[in-house]
Structure 1
Amino acid sequence: MRRTHPGLLGRFTRFGRAMTVAAAIVMAMPTGALACTQIYMGKGVTDTGDTYVGRSEDYANRHPKAFGIQEPRENPTFKSGESTFTWTYSGGQTFRHTYVRDTPSGWGDTDAYSEAGTNEKGVSVSATLTTDYNDKIAEKDPCGAYYDDKGNAIAEKSTGIGEYTIPDVVLGCADTARNGVKLLGKIIDENGSYDCNQIIIADSAETWVFMQLSGHQWCAVNLTAVAPDKVSVNPNMSNLKFDVDLENEDVCLHSADLEKVAKDAHTAEYFDDGRLDVATSYGKDESAGQNTRYAQGRAYFGNPLADGTYTKDLTTTSDWQGVTSISDPELLFAPSGQVSLFQALRSYAARGEQTSDLNANTNSKLYAIGNNRTVETHMFQIRSGLTSDIATVQWEALSRAEFSVAVPVYSALLTKVDTTIYPEVDKWDESHTGDAHERDNVKGALDASTDNGSLDYVLMDINTLAYNNREKLAVPTRAYLDALQKELISQQATVDDIMKQTPAKDRSDLANKLFEQASKETYAKTKALLDEMRTYVNGGMKGDFVPSDLDAAKGDLKTPIRYATAFFAPQISEQPQGATYEKGDKAADLKVTATIPDGVAGSDQYLTYKWTAESDTADASAKATAAAKPMARAAAPGTASQSSTIPVDTSKVGTTTYTCTVTNSVNGESVTSEAATITVKEKQPAPKPDDKPSTDDKGNNANAGNGNNANANGGTAPSKKSPAKAAPGRLVSTGDTNNAMVPVAIAIAGVAIVVIALVVRKRNRE
Structure 2
Amino acid sequence: MACTTILVGKKASYDGSTMIARNDDSASGYFTAKKFVTLRPGEQPATYKSVLSHVTIELPQNPMRFTAVPNAVDGEGIWAASGVNEANVGMTATETITSNARVLGADPLVEYCPAQEGQPETAGGIGEEDIVSLVLPYVHSAREGVQRLGGLLEKYGTYESNGIAFQDVNEIWWLETVGGHHWIARKVPDDVYVVMPNQLGLDRFDLEDALAEKKSHMCSADLREFIEENHLDLSLNGDLNPRDAFGSHDDADHVYNTPRAWFMLRYFNPRTKVWDGPDADFTPRSDDLPWCMVPEKKITPEDVKYALSSHYQGTPYDPYEGHGDPAMKGIFRPIGINRNDCMALIQMRPDVPEEFRAVEWIAFASNAFNVQVPFYANVSVTPDYLANTAKEVSTDNFYWSSRMIAAMADASYGKSVFHIERYQLAVQSKGHALINQYDEKLRREADLAKRAALREQANQEIADMLKKETAETLDKVLIELSSQMKNAYSRSDA
Same fold per TM (> 0.5)? yes
2:349 alignment partner AA = R
Q: Does 1:357 align with 2:316?
A: yes
Cα deviation, residue 229, structure 1? 1.3
Per-residue displacement from partner, 1:114-138 (whole Å, max 9, x unpaired)?
0011111111111110012110011
- d(CA) in 1 for partners of 2:242 and 2:445? 46
**Bigger fraction of residues in helix:** 2
Q: CA shift at 1:176, angstroms? A: 2.2
* Alignment partner, residue 38 of structure 1: 5
| Aligned residue in 2 for 1:122 | 88
**Equivalent residue, structure 1, for 2:480:** 536
Whether 2:79 is the aligned partner of 1:79: answer no
Q: Which residue of 2 is the match for residue 695 of structure 1?
A: none
Instruction: Show the 5 A alignment for 1:405-424.
Output: 405-411=371-377, 413-423=378-388
| Residue equivalent to 1:99 | 68
User: Is 1:212 equivalent to 2:177 in the alignment?
Assistant: yes
Q: Distance in 2 between matches of 1:281 and 1:179?
A: 26
Does residue 233 (structure 1) correspond to residue 195 (structure 2)? The answer is yes
> Is residue 438–residue 454 contact of structure 2 (8 Å, CA) maintained in 1?
no
Write the mapping of 1:14-33 to structure 2, written as runs, cut at 5 A: none
Could you tell me which runs of 5 or more consecutive residues in structure 2 were left unpaired when the two chains were aligned.
115-119, 322-328, 487-494
Question: Does the C-alpha gap of structure 1 residues 482 and 257 become closer, same or farther in structure 2, counting only changes over 3 Å?
Answer: same
Please report the TM-score for the alignment, with normalisation by the length of structure 2: 0.86
Indicate the residue corresponding to 2:490 in structure 1. none
Deviations 1:694-748 (A, max 9, x none): xxxxxxxxxxxxxxxxxxxxxxxxxxxxxxxxxxxxxxxxxxxxxxxxxxxxxxx
Q: Distance in 2 between matches of 1:471 and 1:199?
A: 37
1:377 aligns with 2:343: yes
Counterpart in the other structure of 1:401: 367
Structure 2 SS opposite 1:389: helix
Q: Which string of whole-angstrom CA distances, capped at 9 and with x for unpartnered residues, describes residues 427-460 of structure 1?
A: x242x2xxxxxxxxxxxxxxxxxx3410111111
Q: Deviations over 1:127-166 (max 9, x none)?
A: 1100121100110001113589xxxxxx954511111110
Per the alignment, residue 492 of structure 1 pairs with 435
Contact 1:240 1:329 in 2 (8 A): no
Alignment of 1:345-744 (within 5 A): 345-354=305-314, 356-362=315-321, 363-384=329-350, 386-411=352-377, 413-423=378-388, 428-430=390-392, 432=393, 451-503=394-446, 504-540=448-484
**Aligned-partner SS, 2:21:** strand
- Separation in 2 of the partners of 1:204 and 1:122? 8
Deviation at 1:422, TM superposition (A): 2.2
Distance 1:453 1:402 in 2: 22
Tell me by how many angstroms 1:168 deviates: 0.7
C-alpha separation between the residues in 2 aligned to 1:386 and 1:251? 27
Residues 395-447 of structure 1 deviation map (CA, whole Å, 9 limit, x = unaligned) = 11111211112221221x211123354216xxx242x2xxxxxxxxxxxxxxx
| Bigger radius of gyration among the two | 1
- The reply on whether 1:174 has 2:139 as its aligned counterpart is yes
Is 2:276 the partner of 1:301? no
**Which structure ranks higher in relative contact order (CA pairs < 8 Å, sequence separation ≥ 6)?**
2
Between the aligned residues of both structures, percent identity stands at: 24
Q: Which of 290, 296, 310 is the equivalent residue of 1:330?
A: 290
Mark the CA change 1:234 to 1:420 in structure 2 (over 3 Å): closer, same or farther.
closer
Greater displacement, 114-123 / 532-541: 532-541
**What one-letter code is carried by the residue in structure 1 that aligns with 2:69?**
V
The amino acid that maps onto 1:83 is S
Contact 2:83–2:92, Cα closer than 8 Å, also in 1? yes
Rounded to whole Å, the distance in 2 between the matches of 1:141 and 1:419 is 44
Structure 1 residue runs without a partner (length 5+): 3-34, 149-154, 312-322, 433-450, 543-766
Q: What is the CA-CA distance between 1:46 and the residue it aligns to?
A: 2.1
CA-based RMSD: 2.5
- CA drift at 1:378: 0.9
* Counterpart among 116, 125, 133 of residue 160 in structure 1: 125
Per-residue deviation, 1:466 = 0.6
SS of the aligned residue for 1:404 comes to coil
Structure 1 pair 254–389 and aligned structure 2 pair: CA distance change class (3 A): farther
Q: Given the two structures, how large is their TM-score scaled by the length of structure 1?
A: 0.57
Q: Provide the residue aligned with 2:109 in structure 1.
A: 143
CA distance in 2, matches of 1:103, 1:465: 23
Deviations 1:370-403 (A, max 9, x none): 1111111011111235554322211111112111
Q: State the secondary structure of the residue aligned to 2:344.
A: strand
Query: Deviation digits for residues 525-551 of structure 1, max 9, x if unmatched?
Result: 111221232233224479xxxxxxxxx
Tell me how far apart the structure 1 counterparts of residues 342 and 45 of structure 2 sit (CA, whole Å). Answer: 31
| Contact 1:239/1:280, CA 8 A, preserved across alignment | no
Kept in 2: contact 1:137–1:262 (CA 8 A): no
Could you tell me how far apart the structure 2 residues matched to 1:308 and 1:485 are? 35
Q: Provide the residue aligned with 1:288 in structure 2.
A: 255
DSSP-derived class of the 1:137 partner: helix
Structure 1 equivalent of residue 117 of structure 2: none
Q: Which moved more, 1:328-337 or 1:118-127?
A: 328-337
| 2:38 alignment partner in structure 1 | 69
Q: Deviations over 1:5-52 (max 9, x none)?
A: xxxxxxxxxxxxxxxxxxxxxxxxxxxxxx310001222222222222
1:253 maps to which of 213, 218, 221: 218
CA contact (8 A) 1:295 1:305 kept: no
Cα distance 1:218–1:475, how it changes in 2: closer, same or farther (>3 A)? same
Give the aligned partner of residue 243 of structure 2. 279
- Distance in structure 2 (CA, Å) of the matches to 1:407 and 1:275: 43
Query: In 2, Cα distance between the equivalents of 1:514 and 1:271?
Result: 56
Assess if the C-alpha contact under 8 Å between 1:71 and 1:96 holds in 2.
yes
- Distance verdict in 2 for CA 1:93–1:126, change over 3 Å: same
Contact 1:377 1:400 in 2 (8 A): no
* 1:221 equivalent among 178, 181, 186: 186
Cα 1:505–1:207 shift into 2, 3 Å: farther
Distance 1:271 1:71 in 2: 51
Partners of 1:75 and 1:528 in 2: CA distance: 41
SS at the partner of 1:212? Answer: strand
The answer (yes or no) to whether the contact 1:37–1:348 under 8 Å persists in 2 is yes
Corresponding letter in the other structure for 1:85: V
Task: State the Cα distance separating 1:54 from its structure 2 match.
Answer: 1.1
Displacement of 1:167: 0.4
